[in-house]
Amino acid sequence: MREIIRSLSLNVTTTLAIGNNKVSLKKSLVITAGLLASFSSAASNISLAFNNDNIILGYDLEMKEALKLKGDFLQTIDNGYTADTGLYAFQDVGSTFFELGAKAVRMDNDNGDGYALAFGGLGGLRLTQEFSVEAGFHFSPEILAFGDTENYTQWAFRANYELMPTASLFAEYNHTTVEYKNMPKERLTSDFLFGLKWIF
């Protein structure tokens, strides 16, 4: 796993160009790879989800028996980007699983840019061995938001289908809004996305 991560940090020089926004992913991936390499992992995955207007890169790393590090990078076609990373306690019992924790969020969007510390988590249910559903929520009040940001809210719903032990397909609805100072609430995304998750 560490060799794979080192390879990613050395070799990935992908540049994501969407409309007039051109975002270099190399720096983000190198930082993420450094974080992942510093922990001994029980399991981890990398995911990619997209539609016509958005793309989301995500990672999820189990650090210990009931603790994980995870994050996402969201790039929109016409409204900048949002990046986050967080620490979560999790429990997996029978057909149910839960996560609870907090994430640091960096936003650079049309109406402003800033930071937030958002608390939340997710809950899920395995309906069959291959198929599962989950729902997540995060919120940051004004006191935990900085820069131009005043409030951050995210809802996410996902259905997963395991193709094989190392790969899953999923469909996701992601609704993310942010309030900036002296500006109306801005919807960063409210869309369905389709993706693939690779499990290591």
pLDDT at 42: 53
Confidence of residue 8 (pLDDT cuts 50, 70, 90): very low
Q: Does pLDDT of 85 surpass 90?
A: yes
What percent of the chain clears pLDDT 70, i.e. is strictly above it? 79
Is the per-residue pLDDT at 67 higher than 60? Answer: yes
pLDDT of res. 116 = 96
Examine the pLDDT at 146 and tell me if it is beyond 70.
yes
Over range 110-115, report the average pLDDT: 87
pLDDT greater than 60 at residue 26 = no
For 147-183, the pLDDT digits (tens) are 998 899 999 999 999 999 999 999 999 999 998 887 7
Q: Cα dist. 23→13, 56, 82, 92, 200 in Å? A: 11, 13, 11, 36, 27
For residue 182, what pLDDT is reported? 78
Per-residue pLDDT of 31-47, as tens digits, reads 444 544 444 445 799 99
Contacts made by residues 120-129, CB under 8 angstroms, sequence distance 24+: 120/154, 121/88, 122/98, 122/156, 123/96, 123/97, 123/98, 123/99, 124/96, 124/97, 124/98, 125/95, 125/96, 126/95, 126/96, 126/97, 127/95, 129/162
Residue 11: the pLDDT is 42
Q: What is the structure's pLDDT at 169?
A: 98
Q: What is the percent of the chain where pLDDT is above 90?
A: 62
Using the predicted structure, report yes or no on whether residue 73 has a pLDDT greater than 90: yes
